[in-house]
Structure 1
Amino acid sequence: MPTLLSRLIEARPDEWRAYTHHAFVERLAAGTLPEAAFRHYLVQDYLFLIQFARAYALAVFKSRTIEEMQAGLAGLKAILDLEMDLHVRTCAGWGLTREAMAATPEDIPTTAYTRFVIDAGLQGDLLDLHVALSPCVIGYGVIAERLAAVPGALEATNPYAFWIAEYAGEAYREVAESAVRTLDRLAGSDLSPERFKRLADLFAQASRLEAAFWQMGLDAAR
């Protein structure tokens, strides 16, 4: 039986591909992304993760069962313990402290994306929220796994090999796989066509906002 994720991707393939095959990530694998683009992205992603942590805290609050609460907590811990630490360690190499990153103004795509996700959770139910979160939490794992197979992407000569390795690693793979299982558990087996269309629309919009986030990084280097 197909997963809800695979059905959402099948329903909105153009938005998913534009996000997961964006020029930003292709240049990560090639090692040709300008440092200015990556630095702007990484600082904005740190700010993004602050808001995403709040979204996962909202998921815990809206949960009905201990299992659902544990799924939300797993996402929250992945952000606070894995992803944000990666950003802090990387930006320290540029002389940027955690405090300096937190004090940086949000770029427009950052605000648009994070508030969209939080609004989806506030207005909808727990499944709406997890679908809105899924292009980020699952997509990064999908992207990194594909990039890791590109010849040379994980070589020491690629300045972005560490990013690819982090999101293609076992720890993050489990986070992404858990998110896929959570979608299926919340969706059950009786989604109406109307309900599925609303979820697909949420998924597509989140994917578009992810692509805009990559583009923000590229635009910063122009």
Structure 2
Amino acid sequence: MQVSQYLYQNAQSIWGDCISHPFVQGIGHGTLGRDKFRFYIIQDYLFLLEYAKVFALGVIKAYDETVMREFSNAIQDILNNEMSIHNHYIRELQITQKELQNARPTLANQSYTSYMLAEGFKGSIKEVTAAVLACGWSYLVIAQNLSQIPNALEHAFYGHWIKGYSSKEFQACVSWNINLLDSLTLASSKQEIEKLKEIFTITSEYEYLFWDMAYQS
């Protein structure tokens, strides 16, 4: 079994809780209050800025030019492509630049990004790759699940979010992350793999906490 599948199997129940969370289901059924989604967009904007820094550690810790370039491209994808989803809603919800500049991450948000950065600093390119994987992969799975709800993709407000995170472009980014982890761990010891599982499980738990934080806002 490839390491990515091992990690995925161990986090499936957590991801199931994410999919069934009322915030996520509210996006899929178009019933989520916009005030909650507005809070989420601001917090996720702050999250993405820190998330990109974890990928920057991948550039630093890359073992060859190809992987260095791939992590550099991933940073561009976050700041230009994924951030474009947020910029769409920043305009729709009339969130000002002053609001974004003055916003502060919640404790759950700051704890999540601090954990990823800490594991990335301490570890190798393997730990960096594992630390960023749960976020993108779980979003893809969630969006693909929501896209199966009748009329979800066509929803006037939330359809854009579902389309963005279930797109072929986003799927390609996630596939790169999965494939890189599997290639990096071909000769990894059981102890190394268990450490990666720990990172992946904890970041998956943080994903659930992020959804819940947004819903409780």
TM-score bracket relative to the smaller structure: over 0.9
Give 1:132-147 correspondences, 5 Å limit: 132-147=131-146
Counterpart for residue 128 of structure 2: 129
Counterpart for residue 67 of structure 1: 66
SS, match of residue 154 in structure 1: coil
Matching residue's letter, 2:198: D
Give the conservation status (yes or no) of the 8 Å contact 1:62–1:125. Answer: yes
**For 1:211, which of 182, 191, 208 is the aligned residue?**
208
Counterpart for residue 199 of structure 1: 196
Give 1:74-153 correspondences, 5 Å limit: 74-153=73-152
How far, CA to CA, are the matches of 1:17 and 1:74 in structure 2?
Answer: 30
Matching residue's letter, 1:130: T
How far, CA to CA, are the matches of 2:174 and 2:200 in structure 1?
Answer: 16
How far, CA to CA, are the matches of 1:68 and 1:162 in structure 2?
Answer: 31
Give 1:148-159 correspondences, 5 Å limit: 148-157=147-156, 159=157
How far, CA to CA, are the matches of 2:15 and 2:191 in structure 1?
Answer: 21
Distance 1:164 1:22, change over 3 A: same
Moved over 6 A (4+): none
With 192-201 and 18-27 compared, the bigger mean Cα shift is at 18-27
Q: 1:94: Cα distance to partner?
A: 2.2
Distance 1:184 1:20, change over 3 A: farther
Give the conservation status (yes or no) of the 8 Å contact 2:59–2:68. Answer: yes
Q: Calculate the aligned-residue CA RMSD, in Å.
A: 1.5
SS, match of residue 216 in structure 2: helix
Matched-pair identity in %:
27
Give the conservation status (yes or no) of the 8 Å contact 2:11–2:204. Answer: no
How far, CA to CA, are the matches of 1:181 and 1:195 in structure 2?
Answer: 17
Distance 1:98 1:88, change over 3 A: farther
Q: Which runs of 5+ in 1 are unaligned?
A: none
Q: Deviations over 1:152-205 (max 9, x none)?
A: 211235x211100011112111111111111112112x2222222111111110
Count of equivalent residues: 217
Matching residue's letter, 1:193: K
Q: 1:75: Cα distance to partner?
A: 1.8
Q: 1:3: Cα distance to partner?
A: 3.4
Taking structure 1 as the reference length, the TM-score comes to 0.92
